[in-house]
């Protein structure tokens, strides 16, 4: 992967969201560590400043602070009681990084997992972090923690050598203790750090334990806080209760971009315990309980001025007609030259579409805000705690160091919690009443006032020779995004472009970004080409593919599925798809049963083979691959946000269908472990294969080609009629 491609991967997640001011960075200098932590050994990770700028999408510290050679991205502290505490701005949203990052530290310190405490996503305790997105936690943060902990290990060995007055070579580290070979004595980390004030720093040049030698990393350590989760004791942001806390609710506009024409709040104000807060277009209430807050909002008479807006029925026409300006330069991917390529025997041109879909995290956006002496504390579920802190500070015109933002382990995000207006709304209400306020968005608010995975149109034109060689490939994505736009197949002179357009709904990141849409179009088109030349779809892919990692997952998935061994039963079909994104590789096979009368598709069996370098936690990785595949079924078969004139018309789980227990196929996951390759993130990419695999299986079962996600029974019946 080129540097440019790598930086595009990093920048892509926030393409739609970086309009906000550059985030200020709250710098804690080294002296301040000890105020927070007391004595002990501290190791910091220093990121090269130039690299940090690139990683955060150009967002730099505002204001002075002078020249700093580097930014701190994480640190580790070993206290006098032997407690190992790790500080990182990353957020746990269900991807299991609280555990995997703990494993990285345990590995290098040869310390039990239970002796390590992770402090995460707290703007006063943890170093600045741009956010938890782009599958960067494992390649970046885990790698840094390995290095920090390795340095801490070396520092402890130095201290032990001094303490024992022996050579370092005679010391071994195990179970949080250092012992001397030949002698029958050992010393615990806590004893070594007693009275010490030792600060070390490391940078990218440090070298941690190679994956082939891992003992704790690379194993299926269970969730470190599992007990908290099965007992309901863990407090998500929406579970924070504060003394004297009130409940808030916000009056929502009648449509997107509507402005408040008039408002009468008298009836609401007259309700016992209710306070109405009216500030410009913001109208909200606080009340002692949620029901009273709901009643107060219902009692407000408001008139809104709304503009006519595009509806879902016109969506694709609108996107195509509103391509903005010239195609993004530097994004047109051209590979090789088509010169000298023999002419195609067959040409194919097709258009694919994907709908807007909603992340639907089970925990809706929520925040608790509390002001004390002009300082604001906010608990909120977000993937960008530092970014949301900036949003909140900006809304009140206060410096960021007066906002303390805490993102407790969150009830999922899937790319959907980069922003949360709930934080600012709760803070506004709390400021007005001088008490802590909790605001939990309703499901309807979550479906309406967040942002969506972009809808898109993808046009593919291609040529193929009768022997199965692809000779031409042109791929144009309108609006949905650039991720995964480039074909991994070896096609000389291929051209792949992303075309930004004007768009009707607020749109942003979603697990896997546009890679899901692009892989759907590409892998369905590949199936169409294979059929055109009467080749087996697996054989056709392999014929046009040199990338050994992608070939390996294709072959592994096919083998586990039994591809080519049997013919599908009547009304059943088999499909295969593959792809690569964010440094990991996926192939998916699916078997479907199609009811030709109702158009209902049931996915009976799904096999995924996945490779993301050295595996950090096999069971958690398997869980991610399974889960991504299940989530992907929703976009493949059911999910589409419907909207009309500035309103979402299906903002309820009863109207917006997501995968349920009864939709589950039998799932089999094959993991390929490449200890020789650095670990890539794995929470996103496994979502990209299921939709095209299912689409291709539907064709196999029925001869009907569906080119729009979701592939609903209505579409199937329409196409089959």
Partner 1 sequence: MARVKHVIVNGKEFAIDVDGERTLLSVLRDDLDLTGTKYGCGEGQCGACTVLLDGVPIHSCRARMSTVLRRKVTTIEGLETDGRLHPLQEAFLKAGAMQCAYCTSGMIMAGVGLLQKKPNPSDEDILAGMKGNLCRCGTYQRIFAAIKDGAKALQGGAK
How many residues of this chain bind partner 1 (CB under 8 A)? 57
Backbone angles phi, psi at 643, to 5 degrees: -145, 150
Q: For the chain, how big is the Rg over CA atoms in Å?
A: 27
Classified as helix, coil or strand, 660 is coil
Q: Report in angstroms how near the CB of residue 629 gets to partner 1 at its nearest.
A: 7
- Residue 284, judged by CB atoms within 10 A of its CB (0-12, 13-18, 19+), counts as buried
> How many angstroms from the chain centroid is the CA of residue 558?
28
Q: Which stretch binds partner 1 (CB under 8 A): 131-139, 558-566, 617-625, 711-719?
A: 617-625
Site string for partner 1, 237-256 (x = CB under 8 A): -xx-x-----x---------
Here the tokens at position 111 are 């310390």
Does 442 sit near partner 1 (CB under 8 A)? yes
Q: Report in angstroms how near the CB of residue 591 gets to partner 1 at its nearest.
A: 16
Chosen residue from 23, 40, 89, 94 binding partner 1 by CB under 8 A:
94
Please answer whether residues 575 and 554 qualify as being in contact, where contact means their C-beta atoms are separated by less than 8 angstroms. no
Which is nearer to partner 1, 231 or 329 (by Cβ)? Answer: 231
Does 291 sit near partner 1 (CB under 8 A)? yes
Does 271 sit near partner 1 (CB under 8 A)? no
Please answer whether residues 137 and 681 qualify as being in contact, where contact means their C-beta atoms are separated by less than 8 angstroms. yes
Which is nearer to partner 1, 25 or 417 (by Cβ)? Answer: 417
How far apart, in whole angstroms, are the C-alpha atoms of residue 140 and residue 526? Answer: 34
Does 692 sit near partner 1 (CB under 8 A)? no
Chosen residue from 255, 440, 576, 682 binding partner 1 by CB under 8 A:
440
Here the tokens at position 343 are 């002419």
Q: What is the largest CA-CA distance in the chain?
A: 86
Q: Can the peptide bond before residue 144 be classed as cis, meaning omega within 30 degrees of 0?
A: no
- Residue 187, judged by CB atoms within 10 A of its CB (0-12, 13-18, 19+), counts as middle
Which is nearer to partner 1, 398 or 667 (by Cβ)? Answer: 667
Bridging pattern class, strands 346-354 and 456-464:
antiparallel
Chosen residue from 133, 414, 563, 574 binding partner 1 by CB under 8 A:
414
Which is nearer to partner 1, 269 or 619 (by Cβ)? Answer: 619
Does 96 sit near partner 1 (CB under 8 A)? yes
Which is nearer to partner 1, 97 or 156 (by Cβ)? Answer: 97
Does 547 sit near partner 1 (CB under 8 A)? no
Query: What part of residues 173-232 is at the interface with partner 1 (CB under 8 A)?
Result: 222-223, 226-227, 229-232
Closest CA relative to residue 670, chosen from 588, 583, 569: 588
Q: Which stretch binds partner 1 (CB under 8 A): 286-294, 301-309, 494-502, 671-679?
A: 286-294
Which is nearer to partner 1, 91 or 109 (by Cβ)? Answer: 91
- Segment holding 51, helix H or strand E: helix 49-55
Site string for partner 1, 36-75 (x = CB under 8 A): ----------------------------------------
**Angle CA(541)–CA(545)–CA(550) in degrees, nearest 5?**
90
Chosen residue from 236, 263, 395, 465 binding partner 1 by CB under 8 A:
236
Please answer whether residues 579 and 632 qualify as being in contact, where contact means their C-beta atoms are separated by less than 8 angstroms. no
Which is nearer to partner 1, 159 or 629 (by Cβ)? Answer: 629
Q: Report in angstroms how near the CB of residue 552 gets to partner 1 at its nearest.
A: 25
- Residue 529, judged by CB atoms within 10 A of its CB (0-12, 13-18, 19+), counts as buried
Q: Report in angstroms how near the CB of residue 390 gets to partner 1 at its nearest.
A: 25
DSSP category for residue 329: T
Query: What part of residues 331-390 is at the interface with partner 1 (CB under 8 A)?
Result: 360-364
Q: Report in angstroms how near the CB of residue 361 gets to partner 1 at its nearest.
A: 6
Does 410 sit near partner 1 (CB under 8 A)? yes
Q: Report in angstroms how near the CB of residue 708 gets to partner 1 at its nearest.
A: 23
Which is nearer to partner 1, 190 or 683 (by Cβ)? Answer: 683
Site string for partner 1, 620-659 (x = CB under 8 A): x--xx-xxxxxx--------------------xxx---xx
Does 610 sit near partner 1 (CB under 8 A)? no
Calculate the alpha carbon distances from 575 to 118, 193, 485, 538, 693 in Å.
42, 59, 21, 9, 5
Does 619 sit near partner 1 (CB under 8 A)? yes
Does 321 sit near partner 1 (CB under 8 A)? no
Closest CA relative to residue 343, chosen from 508, 142, 493, 200: 493
**493-516 in b/e burial notation, b at 16+ Cβ within 10 A?**
bbbbbbbbbebbbbbbbbbbbbbb
**321-359 in b/e burial notation, b at 16+ Cβ within 10 A?**
eebeeeeeeebebebeebeebeebeeebeebbbbbbbbb
Please answer whether residues 76 and 165 qualify as being in contact, where contact means their C-beta atoms are separated by less than 8 angstroms. no
Please answer whether residues 677 and 139 qualify as being in contact, where contact means their C-beta atoms are separated by less than 8 angstroms. no
Which residue is listed with tokens 């002078």?
A: 66
Contacts with partner 1 by CB under 8 A lie at: 93-96, 222-223, 226-227, 229-236, 238-239, 241, 247, 289-292, 360-364, 409-412, 414, 440, 442-443, 619-620, 623-624, 626-631, 652-654, 658-662, 664, 667
């Amino acid at each position: 992967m080129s540097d440019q491609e790598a930086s595009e991967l990093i920048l892509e997640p926030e393409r739609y969201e970086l309009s906000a001011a550059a985030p200020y960075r709250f710098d804690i200098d080294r002296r301040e560590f000890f105020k927070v932590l007391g004595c002990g050994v501290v190791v910091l990770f220093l990121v090269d400043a130039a690299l940090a700028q690139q990683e955060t999408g150009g967002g730099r510290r505002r204001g002075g602070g002078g020249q700093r050679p580097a930014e701190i991205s994480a640190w580790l502290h070993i206290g006098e009681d032997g407690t190992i505490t790790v500080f990182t701005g990353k957020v746990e949203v269900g991807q299991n990084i609280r555990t995997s990052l703990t494993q990285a530290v345990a590995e290098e310190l040869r310390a039990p997992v239970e002796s390590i405490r992770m402090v995460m996503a707290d703007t006063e305790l943890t170093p600045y972090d741009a956010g938890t997105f782009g599958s960067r936690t494992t390649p970046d943060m885990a790698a840094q923690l390995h290095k920090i902990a390795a340095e801490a290990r070396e520092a402890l060995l130095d201290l032990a050598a001094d303490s024992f007055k022996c050579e370092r070579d005679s010391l071994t580290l195990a179970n949080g203790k250092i012992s001397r070979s030949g002698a029958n004595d050992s010393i615990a980390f806590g004893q070594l750090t007693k009275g010490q004030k030792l600060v070390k720093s490391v940078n990218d040049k440090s070298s941690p334990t190679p994956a082939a030698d891992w003992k704790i990393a690379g194993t299926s350590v269970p969730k470190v806080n599992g007990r908290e989760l099965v007992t309901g004791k863990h407090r998500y942001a929406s579970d924070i209760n504060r003394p004297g806390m009130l409940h808030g609710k916000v009056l929502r506009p009648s449509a997107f971009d509507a402005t408040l024409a008039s408002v009468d709040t008298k009836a609401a104000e007259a309700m016992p315990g209710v306070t109405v807060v009216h500030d410009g277009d913001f109208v909200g209430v606080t009340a002692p309980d949620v029901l009273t807050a709901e009643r107060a909002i219902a009692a407000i008479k408001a008139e809104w001025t709304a503009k006519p807006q595009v509806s879902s029925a016109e969506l694709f026409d609108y996107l195509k007609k509103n391509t903005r300006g010239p195609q993004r330069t530097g994004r047109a991917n051209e590979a090789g030259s088509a010169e000298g390529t023999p002419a195609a025997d067959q040409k194919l041109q097709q258009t694919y579409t994907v709908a807007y879909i909603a992340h639907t995290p089970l925990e809706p956006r929520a925040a608790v805000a509390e002001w004390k002496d002009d300082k604001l504390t906010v608990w909120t579920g977000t993937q960008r705690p530092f970014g949301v802190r900036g949003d909140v500070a900006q809304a009140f015109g206060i410096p960021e160091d007066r906002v303390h933002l805490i993102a407790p382990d969150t009830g999922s995000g899937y790319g959907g919690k980069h922003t949360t207006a709930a934080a600012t709304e709760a803070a506004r209400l709390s400021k007005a009443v001088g008490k802590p306020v909790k605001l939990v968005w309703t499901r309807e608010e979550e479906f309406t006032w967040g942002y969506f995975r972009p809808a898109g149109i993808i046009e593919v034109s291609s040529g193929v020779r009768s022997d199965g060689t692809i000779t031409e490939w042109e791929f144009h994505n309108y609006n949905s995004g650039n991720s995964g736009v480039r074909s991994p197949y070896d096609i000389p002179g291929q051209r792949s472009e992303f075309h930004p357009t004007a768009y009707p709904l607020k749109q942003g990141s979603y697990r896997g970004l546009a890679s899901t849409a692009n892989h759907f179009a590409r892998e369905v088109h590949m199936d169409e080409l294979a059929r055109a030349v009467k080749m087996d779809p697996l054989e056709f892919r392999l014929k046009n593919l040199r990338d050994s990692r992608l070939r390996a997952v294709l072959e592994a998935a096919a083998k586990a599925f039994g591809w080519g061994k049997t013919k599908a039963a009547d009304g059943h079909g088999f499909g295969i798809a593959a792809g690569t994104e964010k440094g990991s590789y996926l192939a998916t096979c699916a078997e479907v049963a199609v009811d030709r009368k109702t158009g209902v598709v049931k996915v009976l069996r799904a096999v995924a083979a996945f490779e993301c370098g050295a595996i950090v936690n096999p069971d958690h990785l398997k869980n991610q691959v399974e889960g991504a595949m299940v989530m992907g079924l929703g976009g493949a078969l059911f999910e589409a946000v419907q909207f009309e004139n500035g309103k979402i018309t299906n903002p309820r789980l009863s109207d917006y269908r997501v995968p349920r227990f009864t939709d589950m196929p039998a799932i089999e996951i094959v993991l390929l472990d490449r200890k020789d390759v650095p670990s890539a993130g794995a929470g996103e990419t496994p979502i990209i294969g299921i939709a095209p695999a299912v689409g291709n299986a539907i064709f196999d079962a029925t001869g009907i080609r569906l080119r729009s996600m979701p592939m609903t029974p209505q579409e199937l019946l329409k196409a089959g009629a």
